[in-house]
């Protein structure tokens, strides 16, 4: 099944605003020239031509984007050479949200700065591949970005690391390795040499608790004079209680 995505409507809106600004500058330039202010008229005319050039370049570069998602690859055309990425070559998918300037410094912001992105930040989907290459998809430049992101995550498969809350200040984090096999899958790898170390530690703790309780019980109870010491369950001698002639008890 094939799904297609095109440029966002915001691209055409910004291009329209640039053209309208250029028209206003051109009208103002004509009025200044008619009034005899040739210097200001020439400056405004140059600004109008510059704005029109920016609008045309913006439309040519980002207004012809066409993205195709199929079951075996992702294709992108319209803003340069056509590129295709097989899903089997994808190693990681991450989404970054952050200030436009910081994303641009780290090479994560395709396209120019936009007013709304400078105020509220930008969102970019990065697809890393095995050949140390990366494809970037900016939310402000792609129509139906949420559907595109969901389709991308569904197509990459379960073996690919997906992080939709990526940290733009940790862009160079290594790929997280797969989780280790569980104890049940390892066939009892936690038991070595025929002994269970966990059970041994539990038995030692139980003996320690029993020795403490017997020690406290021996201190609180009185025994016959000259009683011999006995051995506890851990092999340690129990304290015997004797009495002096004056009746004061002491422990030894």
Question: Do 82 and 158 fall within a single domain?
Answer: yes
How many structural domains is the chain composed of? Answer: 2
**Backbone angles phi and psi of 138, in degrees to 5:** -95, 135
Structure tokens at 97: 């949200």
> pTM for the complete prediction?
0.63
Question: Do 39 and 119 fall within a single domain?
Answer: no
Question: Do 136 and 108 fall within a single domain?
Answer: yes
Question: Do 108 and 143 fall within a single domain?
Answer: yes
Structure tokens at 207: 């003996």
Question: Do 34 and 83 fall within a single domain?
Answer: no
Question: Do 53 and 89 fall within a single domain?
Answer: no
Question: Do 103 and 45 fall within a single domain?
Answer: no
Tell me the β-bridge partners of 217: none
Question: Do 89 and 57 fall within a single domain?
Answer: no
**Positions in the chain whose pLDDT score sits under 50:** 181-202, 222-231, 237, 239-252
Question: Do 22 and 51 fall within a single domain?
Answer: yes
Residue 171: the pLDDT is 66
Cα–Cα distances in Å, from 194 out to 187, 188, 200, 202, 228? 13, 11, 12, 17, 39
193 lies in some domain: no
- Cα(169)–Cα(68) distance, integer angstroms: 30
Cα–Cα distances in Å, from 73 out to 93, 155, 156? 14, 9, 9
The residue among 170, 203, 222 that closes a domain is 170
Residue 81: the pLDDT is 85
99 lies in some domain: yes
Question: Do 87 and 118 fall within a single domain?
Answer: yes
The residue among 137, 170, 203 that closes a domain is 170
Residue 62: the pLDDT is 92
Residue 185: the pLDDT is 42
Domain membership of residue 58 as a residue range: 3-62
- Cα(167)–Cα(151) distance, integer angstroms: 22
Residue 158: the pLDDT is 85
70 lies in some domain: no
Residue 199: the pLDDT is 43
- Collapsing DSSP states into helix, strand and coil, what is residue 184? coil
What angle (nearest 5°) sits at the alpha carbon of residue 168, between those of residues 164 and 173?
85
245 lies in some domain: no
Question: Do 132 and 160 fall within a single domain?
Answer: yes
- Cα(79)–Cα(101) distance, integer angstroms: 22
């Amino acid at each position: 099944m094939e799904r297609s995505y095109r440029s966002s409507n915001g691209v055409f809106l910004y291009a329209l605003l640039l053209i309208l600004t250029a028209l206003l500058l051109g009208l103002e330039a004509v009025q200044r020239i008619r009034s005899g202010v040739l210097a200001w008229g020439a400056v405004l005319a140059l600004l109008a031509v510059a704005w029109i050039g920016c609008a045309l370049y913006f439309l040519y570069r980002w207004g012809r984007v066409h993205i195709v998602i199929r079951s075996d690859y992702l294709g992108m055309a319209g803003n340069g050479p056509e590129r295709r990425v097989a899903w089997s070559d994808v190693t990681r998918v991450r989404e970054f949200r952050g200030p436009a300037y910081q994303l641009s410094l780290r090479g994560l912001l395709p396209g120019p700065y936009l007013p709304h992105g400078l105020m509220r930040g930008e969102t970019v989907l990065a697809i890393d591949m095995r050949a140390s290459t990366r494809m970037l998809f900016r939310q402000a430049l792609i129509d139906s970005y949420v559907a595109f992101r969901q389709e991308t995550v569904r197509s990459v498969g379960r073996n690919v690391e997906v992080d939709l809350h990526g940290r733009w200040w940790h862009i160079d984090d290594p790929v997280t390795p797969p989780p280790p096999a569980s104890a049940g899958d390892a066939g009892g790898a936690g038991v070595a040499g025929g002994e269970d170390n966990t059970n041994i530690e539990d038995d030692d703790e139980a003996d320690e608790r029993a020795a403490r309780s017997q020690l406290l019980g021996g201190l609180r109870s009185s025994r016959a004079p000259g009683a011999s010491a006995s051995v506890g369950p851990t092999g340690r001698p129990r304290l015997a209680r004797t009495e002096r002639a004056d009746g004061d008890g002491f422990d030894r």
